[in-house]
Amino acid sequence: MTLLDKEPVRRVEKLLKEFDQKQSVIILDTSARTALEAASSLGCEVGAIIKSLLFRTENTFTLCLVAGDKKASLNKIKKILNIKDASMASADDVKNITGYTIGGVSPVGHLNKINIFIDNSLERFTSLFAAAGHPNCVFKINFTDLQKITNGSIKEITE
């Protein structure tokens, strides 16, 4: 069984193909569990790695797609959502809401509909890389297509 046979990876691959036939999951020999590992494995800048961070926000969840060299700002997220409380989702919540485990959370193919914010600083890069359902699987995408495929809102959400 290869990594492409794993259900979460198949889910991402299917969505990528529906979006654009030329898109596909890239399997790495090395881990891309963290932005630093991914950048090292791909030979790109850390900022070109999309971190998919799930936040528990009052009565719902929000997925923030953040540049690998930036830190999500809870204060900015709370201000945008006009709420008083937000925190990082637990590992169980991440798995239950997205269908992915931490280290392989993709910006697409979630089990539940999630509100998505895209860090505007990702726009600096021609090519971006995001997790594809497993710590050794990624896909390459540009900023415009990332916005289209996720239907995410572009926001300033980093410190």
57/98 Cα distance (integer angstroms): 15
Quote the domain boundaries for residue 76. 3-155
CATH number at residue 21: 3.90.960.10
Q: Residue 30's closest CA among 134, 136, 128, 104? A: 136
6/91 Cα distance (integer angstroms): 19
Instruction: State the chain's mean pLDDT as an integer.
Output: 96
Domain count, the chain: 1
Q: Which pLDDT band holds residue 146 (cuts at 50, 70, 90)?
A: very high
Mean pLDDT (whole number) for 130-152: 97
Q: Which pLDDT band holds residue 47 (cuts at 50, 70, 90)?
A: very high
Residue 138 C-beta-side C-alpha neighbours within 13 Å: 28
117/78 Cα distance (integer angstroms): 12
Q: Which residues contact 1 (CB under 8 A, 6 or more apart)?
A: none
Taking 90 as the threshold, does the pLDDT of residue 35 lie above it? yes
Mean pLDDT (whole number) for 114-132: 98
Query: Model pTM?
Result: 0.96
Decide: 157 and 52 in contact? Cβ < 8 Å. Answer: no
Taking 80 as the threshold, does the pLDDT of residue 97 lie above it? yes
The strand pairing partners of 53, in sequence order, are: 64
